[in-house]
Structure 1
Amino acid sequence: MVLLRFAPSPTGALHLGGLRTALYNHLYARKLGGKWILRIEDTDSARYVPGSVDGIRSALEWAGLGYDHGPGKDGAHGPYFQSERLDLYHSYTRKLLDSGHAYRCFCSSDKLNSTREKLARTGSNVTYDKACLSLTEEEVARRVRAGEKSIVRLNDDRLPKRQTPSDIIFGILKDAHASLPTDPVLLKSDLFPTYHLASIVDDHEMGITHVLRGEEWLPSLPLHLDLYSCLNLSPPQFAHLPILLNPDGTKMSKRKGDVQVLDFMRRGWEPEALLNWLALAGWGVHHENGGTPDASPSRTSLQAPDSTTLMSLSELIDQFDLPSLTHRRNILDPLKLEYLNKHHLMRSWQTNEGIEIHAKRVSDSVKIAFPSSPYTSIEYIVEVIRALQGRIVNLHDVPSLAPFFFIEPNYSTDEAKAMIRSMTSSDYNNSVQAVARRLSVQSSETIDISGVLHDEADKSGLKQRIFMTAVRHALTGMKSGPSIPEIVGVLGIQRTLARLKYAVHMGHVDTQSI
């Protein structure tokens, strides 16, 4: 049974890097017909942020990434909060102590700092002098009975032989033991485990077969493999995901803000587009027999999806190939998100139901932007969306893209003034009057707006651009937007006529002939 896990710490809101990790766990589990667990790694009480777990769960639900087991979805692998699994970590700690692979250290923080500084001055890579390793069993027992605080360290002098570190994405790795601290801490003085011990124990006890996590944990892989060997356990397969970068090349960090999933939810981005964007960031060579856990270079390579290929979640699952991810750190380009979001919206608007769903979603924003407008019904907003299709990048753009659909045009803006700056008042008024005259005498049921516009433009002798700009100005006060027939289709003949007459009136032209 293929089983993966997404294991965030409740130290704040879910950020883009965390969402991508959850996404890849979801894709790989579904690709291989398996499941995935949401596990909360809450062993660092000092960094715990109240409400974080609810925020993480809400973000995953919004994105459509449904975990199989975890908080709110109990199963055979619980409990799913590490703070509720302390007895398990203590049991494994005793195994390591009894086998001599770990020992108790009673050194104070001041002494440890002093020792570390002393060793550093000598140019040594050693970070601890192993002072407590020489304590006798009797001395250790006496100090424990006396209530002295201690930590438990791994004894790296007694590490068993084990396999060379390897990774599904990065392949065979150099065994970088030299970069690890001397005798790493496994159990802290507050009796809570470090990440290293807790993750190993939980992954084994839960039956995790594949560990997909961020590249920042790659240097810790040798330590984790050491722990598996010391406990005589078989490790899962590891895949470390290259780090996401900002457009300026800096590392994305939730400490810097502006990368929280909640921000993207509030700004109106489509969850499908956000997942599409994250999934394809760093998607490299695609392999013909993708979905297998090996990274063999002999497999047939195919062209990977372009980073702006429009893909639904099911399409991502179908094409996902974990070994195809590049080793490079990946820049998240906001322009690609805009492109994907626009086209995911357009795809969803191919059905009436899809448009209505989005009209309901944007209705509150429209009502807030235009509180006095009588044109904010769901049915009306549906028609607005139809007219704006292909122009909307984000649903939140609707009020700013076409305010003229909800309120009267503002002719005093710089944009409105610029539209008719090179136009004579006679040309403007004649153009607007001609269209208004035709619309007022024809039946609204049979009228061909496009035909009327081109017919009257030809009669006027004006260039099409001047004629159409005058009419667009009168109806919208904005130089860009849907076609004039589409605008009239949403406004209706009566509102269109009222605006044309008002525009001429503002130019002080006699309106009696209209």
Structure 2
Amino acid sequence: MALYNYMYARKHAGKWILRVEDTDATRYVPGAVDGIRSALEWAGLNYDHGPGKDGPHAPYFQSQRLDLYRSYANKLLDSGHAYRCFCSADRLQETREKLARSGSNSTYDKRCLHLTEEDVARRVKAGEKSIVRLNNSNLPNRPAPVDLVFGNVRDAHASLSTDPILLKTDLFPTYHLASVVDDHEMGITHVLRGEEWLPSLPLHLDLYAALRLTPPNFAHFPILLNPDGSKMSKRNGDVQVIDYIRRGWEPSAVLNWLALAGWGARHESPTSPISTSHSHGKLVQGAPDSTTYMSMSDLIDNFDITAMTHRSSSLDPAKLEFLNKHHLTRLWSSEAGLTELAEKGLWKVKEAFPESEYATVNYIKDVIVLLDGRLTNIFDIPKHAPYMFQEPDLSNQQTQSVFKKVDPKEMAAMLDSVKEHVAKLSVDEWGRPSLLDILKKEQEKAILAPKSFMKILRHILTGMKDGPAIVDTMALLGKERTLERLKPYKFESA
């Protein structure tokens, strides 16, 4: 959701606020806020006001705004739109079970609604713990709910709990009260959040009406699913940003992937309320392909809430790989981008080849260019080009299979001839044109078939069956390393 909020704010020259909703002590996770801020920084999603960026409506931690929520709860109590409930947890549980057995959709019997003012005052003075509930039987009239994504939505109070809790016994607010109060106090004009909050929209609009506040515009976005269609969770799959960081995905590619996963066809906004659950008007424009390369500026320019899909979308890892490859290509097309990628891949190369003298930023830049079009992820450099950082392993099964299909004497003669002519090149002559000329001539006069010639040369130099053009590989390896590898392979006797 951070991405959509960021794009919408930037597209409309607005301000994006990061607010920490930490009013539920049971869900407190040490370091979570720092983790969120680090993830946003990695993604380049810079908020305007929030933790570390105090603005006109600070503080941005809800746990530091408790007096404000209590004052609004008192307003609701004074107007009769809310009441205190002194029921114990055990009684509430018994009541829910009893109502369920009777077939009722209610979750509370409103027992405390009928307490007199004197009873309430006496129990409060005695120090009895209580919660504050919204009085659903005394709600003001208001317009039907309208969502910027789903259009007109059904005013389904039946799906909500009976007289929802607004203030808990610890005097901390629930999300419902805190979000409404903060959105008003902070001047929020648009609330973009997950579809799981759509059933709560009627409740939030009730609170705005009861407090005589103008509600913001709401947009609810369908949730993202795992490839198998299951709901994403922290226990299942890569749903934390740190996972994508550790795997070396480009932030621009991840954002591109996530944005298009929720992009649907653009519809006209509905103009009249209806009684069905969702309505989204006439189709205006089709959705972009989910593998379309889009920079952040492209995403912002084209972002349109009316074009959001109305169905939950699955995240396809293959599409991330495809997009990441294209974002890598765009990045290394500039010197600054190439350096950035090399610096990012350096630690992975050092991890794979700790003794290599070639594990440097400048050399890795050359390897990235060499692997043009082959890299899906910058962390794949060790997998695609280990021979650039260490001597090739010629004992692998594929290389052995190629060598055993060739007469050892013919192979030795071929390598000796190539080595002889390559050795004559000066430092200034060493490069693709000269090497290509030599290999063409050697291939023409070799006894071996052209295909076998190139296979042997590739395996003797890299120990791999495929890779970049062999002349480009030789050019980057350099004269000394190339000559060292162009030596006849010694077959071990059986």
* In structure 2, distance between residues paired with 1:388 and 1:59: 29
Identity rate, percent: 61
The residue number in structure 1 matching 2:449 is 463
Equivalence map 1:82-231=2 (5 Å):
82-231=62-211
State how far apart, in whole Å, the 1-side matches of 2:20 and 2:371 are.
43
1:441 is displaced (CA, Å) by: 2.3
User: C-alpha displacement at 1:462, in angstroms?
Assistant: 2.8
1:398 to partner: Cα distance: 0.6
Q: TM-score by structure 1 length?
A: 0.91
Q: 2:462 aligns with which of 455, 476, 480?
A: 476
C-alpha displacement of 1:452: 1.4
Cα distance in 2 for residues equivalent to 1:215 and 1:361: 36
Range with bigger deviation, 151-160 or 441-450: 441-450
Q: CA deviation at 1:257?
A: 5.4
Secondary structure of the residue aligned to 1:37 is coil
1:437 maps to 2:423: no
1:254 is paired with a residue of what secondary structure? Answer: coil
Q: 2:334 maps to which residue? A: 351
**Contact 1:431/1:471 (<8 A) preserved:** no
Could you report, residue by residue, the CA deviation over 1:192-233 in whole angstroms, capped at 9, with x for unpaired residues? 000000001101110100100001101111111111111111
CA distance 1:112–1:296, change in 2 (3 Å): closer
1:317 maps to: 300
Asked if residue 382 in structure 1 is aligned to residue 365 in structure 2, the reply is: yes
CA distance in 1, matches of 2:401, 2:190: 61
How many residues end up aligned between the 2 structures?
481
- What is aligned with 1:490? 476
Q: Contact (CA 8 Å) 1:286, 1:324: kept in 2 or not?
A: yes
Which segment is superposed worse, 60-69 or 254-263? 254-263
Q: Which residue of 1 aligns with 2:233?
A: 253
How many Å apart are 1:506 and its aligned residue? 2.3
Q: Match of 1:38, SS? A: coil
8 Å CA contact 1:419–1:479 kept in 2: the answer is no
Is it true that 1:364 corresponds to 2:347 in the alignment?
yes
Q: 1:10-47 deviations in whole A, cap 9, x for unaligned?
A: xxxxxxxxxxx011001001111111100000000111
The DSSP-based 3-state class of the residue aligned with 1:239 is strand
Instruction: Label 1:311 to 1:127 Cα distance change in 2 as closer, same or farther (>3 A).
Output: same
Q: Secondary structure at the match of 2:21?
A: coil
Matched, 1:22 2:2: yes
Which one of 403, 408, 414 corresponds to residue 420 of structure 1? 403
Match of 1:9 in 2: none
AA in 2 matched with 1:104: R
Q: Which residue of 2 aligns with 1:334?
A: 317
- Distance across 2 between alignment mates of 1:418 and 1:120: 72
Shift of 1:464: 1.9
Q: Is the 8 A contact 2:267 2:280 kept in 1?
A: no
Structure 2: where are the runs of 5+ without partners? 270-278
Q: Which residue of 2 aligns with 1:506?
A: 490
Partners of 1:316 and 1:208 lie apart in 2 by 23
Q: Distance in 2 between matches of 1:365 and 1:493?
A: 26
Which residue of structure 1 aligns with residue 438 of structure 2? 452
Q: Is the 8 A contact 1:28 1:320 kept in 2?
A: yes
Shift of 1:372: 1.1
Equivalent of residue 380 in structure 2, options 397, 400, 419:
397
